[in-house]
Amino acid sequence: MKIITTGHKYELASFEGDPAQTLQFIEKIPVAEGSKELRTVNDGTTNEEVLKVLIDRVQYLNGKFPCRENAIVITKLEEALMWLNKRTADRQVRSVEGKATL
């Protein structure tokens, strides 16, 4: 893994060499200095979407080669997704979802 833009863009090594793959997360910045309103400067995915992919992949692999470790990984990935979703729900209740914290 190579960091292209910290927190937003990564180059992922392919298992058997080239080509590398790019993982782009959504990147937002304040619309103006001091503003809490954000605008998207680079569209991309979210942590939640990546976790959903990983959950699906490990469930698929666990169906082929089941083991305790895979089951634990699935549980922990699902837990991570639950906490991110809770954070989003809490932010929505407070009307601060999608806004910068200054």
Distance CA 48, CA 54 (A): 10
Residue 61: per-residue pLDDT: 98
State in Å, rounded, how far the first CA of the chain is from the last one: 31
Query: What strands lie across the sheet with 2-5, from one edge to the other?
Result: 2-5, 9-14, 17-24
Q: 72-97: per-residue pLDDT in tens?
A: 999 999 999 999 999 999 999 998 88
Domain ranges of the chain: 1-45, 46-95
pTM of the model: 0.87
